[in-house]
Structure 1
Amino acid sequence: MKKILSAVLAVAMLCTCVLMFTACGGNNSSAASDASSKTEAKELHMATNAAFEPYEYKEGGEVVGIDADIANAICEKLGCKLVIDDMDFDAIITAVTSGKDDFGMAGMTITDERKQSVDFTDPYTNAVQVIIVNEKDSPVASADDLKGKSIGVQMGTTGDIYVTDIEGAKVERFNKGADAVLALTQGKVDAVVIDNQPAKAFVAQNPGTKILDDPFENEEYAICLKKGSELTEQFNKALKELKDDGTIDTIIKKYISE
């Protein structure tokens, strides 16, 4: 009888552990069933590319920025610990679909093409794609002038997607937006298409470059998750609460002045 009672108690304790850690998700769906991996079950892994200031960038070896702060706020609401995995931008969706990371957040625009691979949360901010050129003797004065020109982009971004269809354009793809802007200053490309906020940082760091006045494309940023993930609903609920209480606006204003 003592052995039977001990076995029943052990099963009950195991079930309790599983229930306690299921809500946080862990690094993949199987983590919830592994009650012995309590540390892993408390973590949510975020795939990002920390070269996209002010959304994500490195400061003192730590990934900081708008997306990092919003992700932290979401994880706090879910009672989880955030772990950020830095990688090339075009590796993020693969990391999410393979289960290596729980979600991707990297100034990522909702597109029909990406929807074929991942699910998206509700948008958390709006963004604008712009064109960076050299201030002197640039052959590009507007989006119409990009036809037949050499255009630098960060690989896998919406800037990459948008310019691919421009008539006669030669698209030069780089792992980092900063590398594309460097190529511009060296005369290797005629223009760079990238998000407005990182563009401001790049122009500030590279005298002699400027952002054209007319926006190239308007878009919305959201968080990507594995198709069918139960986290999508939880993230949307957390995002709504963070929008309603002003947390997201506060985070954005911390990094982007009016």
Structure 2
Amino acid sequence: MKKTMALVVGMMMAASLAGCGAKNESKTVDDIKKAGKLVMATDAAWAPFEYIADTDTPVGSDIDLAQAIADQWGVELEIINTAFDTLPQYLDNGKADIVIAAMTITDERKEQMAFSDPYTVSTQYIIVNEADTSVKTIEDLAGKKVAVHLGTTGDFLVSDEIADGCLKDTGAEVVQYKNLTEGCLALQKGDVDAVMLDLLAAQNFCAVNDGLTCFEAKYADGSSTKEEYGIGVKKSNTELVKAINEAIKPMVENGSIDASIEKHKELASLLEQ
């Protein structure tokens, strides 16, 4: 990497985040250049997008993307690695300029933050044990315990279907984990029956763990759960959104983001879980 990357590990509780000198003003690219750094908040548990490899410093295609933006603006990249469900608070209190964490653009999240144009697409996947042939569709999760990563679109999907959808009154149960790996390990131990998570994360986990299989989460009628990932910024930072869109547009068009995803997909599959 061309610039020095600094790592800030943040696992603070929501209350402490809100009370630590919040900065409510909008930030521009000029402000970031004056500070000399672009601060990115992420949750390094989503290989190949962000994960921990040989050191405590997160790596992954989302890190490459943030570094490319920082390089374009002539600043260093600083990373805050924290819990996924706390990420919007780092934008609100001014501790982070951007959030990149394999985050799906949704209407609910647009109420909390602004998003860049999509930089890649994904879909939800289901992981089950290879011996389990009972699950083929989302409706087949009826009566089963489904692990999800708290605050993710997998969590939203399963929770919504149980509350008022195809899994309502079926005995299905959502089990929320603060850590993606914990949810997958719960499946291996038999504490849950399935895991709902994003495509590449599911494929990576199955690639490095025997006895598991994964497949696209589709409904019985064949409809899918296609998603678009975006870069989150503070809701009022419309100028910063515009600058980010200008920065990532050529990378989307020339395929460099997709190439980085494929590179880290291969690298992450070699790691021991």
Q: Deviations over 1:133-181 (max 9, x none)?
A: 0111454232111123211000100000000022242110111211111
- Name which of structure 1's ranges 212-221 and 43-52 shifts more when overlaid on structure 2: 212-221
Cα distance change on mapping 1:207 and 1:246 into 2, 3 Å: closer
Provide structure 2 residue ranges, at least 5 long, that are not aligned to the other structure.
1-26, 162-167, 219-223, 267-273
C-alpha displacement at 1:96, in angstroms?
Answer: 1.2
In 2, distance between residues paired with 1:128 and 1:223? 17
Contact 2:42 2:84 survives alignment (8 Å): yes
Local SS of the residue matching 2:123 = strand
What are the residue-to-residue correspondences of 1:145-160 with 2, within 5 Å? 145-160=140-155
2:50 maps to 56
After the TM superposition, which residues 1-258 of structure 1 pair with which residues of structure 2 at under 5 Å, given as runs? Answer: 23-26=29-32, 41-61=35-55, 62-137=57-132, 139-166=134-161, 167-168=168-169, 169-212=172-215, 215=218, 217-229=225-237, 230-256=239-265
Instruction: Determine the C-alpha separation between the residues in 1 that align with 2:28 and 2:173.
Output: 48
Structure 1 residues 95, 22: CA separation in 2 closer, same or farther (over 3 Å shift)? closer
Report deviation, 1:23.
3.4
Residues 22-65 of structure 1 deviation map (CA, whole Å, 9 limit, x = unaligned): 63433xxxxx8xxxxx6xx0111101000110000012222110
Distance 1:247 1:213 in 2: 25
Report the aligned-residue RMSD: 2.0
Q: Which has the larger radius of gyration?
A: 1
The answer to which structure has the higher helix fraction is 1
Secondary structure of the corresponding residue to residue 212 of structure 1: strand
Provide TM-score, normalisation by structure 2. Answer: 0.77
3-state SS of paired residue (1:51): coil
| C-alpha separation in 2, matches of 1:52 and 1:88 | 12
Cα contact 1:96–1:102 (8 A) shared by 2: yes
* Contact 1:24–1:80 (8 Å) recurs in 2: no
Superposition deviation, residue 184 in structure 1: 0.7
Letter in 1 for 2:97: D
Q: How many residues align?
A: 225
The residue type paired with residue 109 of structure 2 is R
Going from structure 1 to structure 2, the CA distance change for 1:253 and 1:209 (only over 3 Å counts) comes to closer
Greater relative contact order (Cα < 8 A, sep 6+): 2
Residue-by-residue CA offset, 1:74-125 (whole Å, 9 max, x unaligned): 1111122111110011011111122111110000000000000100000000
Give aligned-pair identity as a percent.
41
Output the CA distance in 1 between the equivalents of 2:134 and 2:254. 46
* Secondary structure in structure 1 of the residue aligned to 2:157: helix
